[in-house]
Amino acid sequence: MKDKIEISMPDIELKEKALKVRKAAMKICRASNEQRRDALNKMADSLVHFSEEILEANHHDFNVAKKKGISQALLSRLKLSKDKLLHGIDGVRKVRDLPDPVGQVQINKKLASGLILQRKTVPIGVIGVIFESRPDAFIQISSLALRSGNAAILKGGSEASQTNEAIFNALRSGLNRSSLDGNALCLLTSRKDSLSMLHLDKEISLIIPRGSNELVKFIQSNTRIPVLGHADGICHLYIDYESDINLGIKVALDSKVQYPAACNAVETLLIHKDIAKEFLSKAIPIFDSQKIELRGDSKSISFGVKLSAESQDWSTEYLDLILSVKIVDDLNDAIEHIQTFGSKHTDGIITDNYKTASLFMNAVDSAGVFHNCSTRFADGFRYGFGAEVGISTQSLPPRGPVGLEGLVTYKYFLTGEGHIVDDFSSGKEKFIHEDL
């Protein structure tokens, strides 16, 4: 997408769809915890029932996309295997069983005698979701939205059109058998509607884009609706001189190879100069066996890396079996590189020195900072969130993998007995500010 693309105003049909979703959101925010749990249970059962249809639709989408020459990274995200689908269904049930995020009392305070202030969590409203390739994201986002008392308008990429429609039909079938309003989920199918929804600032409370850097930046630049997401996943792994080389290779390999198309896959390997020669002598043959293309700075070239890195490599999210390698002088050098070229997603350190690890993790301004473990752990399901709507790299919360707690906001509830401010201004009444 390019900024020059003209975004038309929503037509009557889209406005009517959005209004139905808005009304459904007003109903679901009043639904009980058990009603929302029951809806998710029925949606999971429906996904199981329609699993063959979903997989068949995905097989069709995948073959069409492959013939069109879509990138390998997008193909990888598009492919919905039976195991991935079952994993997604399991995620729905896990979300169902999570504690209710709505109505949680965050502040409970007596301001004065008979004057009680509470801050409680409430749903956001209508969430607009635009995503590329990944049909499993449809399942995750829908379950999280409804569990947290929200409604959702979803638009997937055209490359997964049949898969998304099959998943939507399954979810709606389950939702319609529950007590919740079936209009709480809406699927948009045209590119025109996906662009026009950016103008629905009265109907949509939050937009979550999941896809390419280009997609996210386009949405951020073309809507007044708050946007939650990340544009880049440029993740780093720093190998400290006080580290187990074999452990470092193991973690680096998983961070790159386990799923290279993921936003939490490592893109740059930083190695302390004192351990660089030994590390690379062991690592390069292993990386080569996994068909990882290494692009290194001049120092790493002298230690066996074959291809020279260009300046743009340090700020590139490859989403492929490509890994940039740089030799750094010390911890501060590594931190400076990450702060300069990182995207505030996930960055890790391999070291046996816990003081060094602590300095790194406190200094690096990223949503996730890891010690002696793979960057691939940056995931809502692996964190125990059941699923995630996406990963946020913004400094303000929510940050990192966003689960249920990121889909609620809060408001203040104040209950009195005829209290007036003038009584406090005149000294007749006094504030207590006592926690209850």
Domain segments of the chain as ranges: 12-228+389-411, 235-377
Q: Tell me: cis bond preceding 398? Omega within 30 of 0 counts.
A: yes
Q: Is 260 helix (H, G, I), strand (E, B) or coil?
A: coil
Per-residue model confidence as pLDDT tens digits over 314-349: 999 998 999 999 999 999 999 999 999 999 999 999
Give the angle subtended at the CA of 132 by the CAs of 131 and 134, to the nearest 5°.
90
Confirm if 107 and 117 have CB atoms less than 8 A apart. yes
Indicate the CATH number of 12-228+389-411 among 3.40.640.10, 3.40.50.300, 3.40.605.10, 3.40.50.1000.
Answer: 3.40.605.10
Topology (CATH level 3) of domain 235-377 = Aldehyde Dehydrogenase; Chain A, domain 2 (3.40.309)
Task: Give CA–CA dist 161/144, Å, rounded.
Answer: 21
Q: What percent of the chain has pLDDT over 90?
A: 86
Residue 220 burial (C-beta neighbours within 10 Å; 0-12, 13-18, 19+): middle
The string of DSSP codes covering 139-186 is HHHHHHHHHTT-EEEEEE-GGGHHHHHHHHHHHHHHHHTSSS-GGGEE
Whether 12-228+389-411 and 235-377 share one fold: the answer is no
Rounded mean pLDDT of 96-117? 97
Residue 55 burial (C-beta neighbours within 10 Å; 0-12, 13-18, 19+): middle
| Angle in degrees, 0-180, between the axes of helices 273-289 and 245-257, rounded to the nearest 10 | 50
- What count of other Cβ atoms lies within 10 Å of the Cβ of residue 153? 27
Per-residue model confidence as pLDDT tens digits over 277-295: 999 999 999 999 999 999 9
Per-residue model confidence as pLDDT tens digits over 183-225: 999 999 998 998 999 999 999 999 999 877 788 889 989 999 9
Task: Give CA–CA dist 257/376, Å, rounded.
Answer: 10
Task: Give CA–CA dist 142/150, Å, rounded.
Answer: 9
- Considering the chain, what is the average pLDDT of its residues? 94
Across the beta sheet with 368-371, what order do the strands follow?
307-308, 293-296, 322-328, 266-272, 235-239, 346-350, 368-371
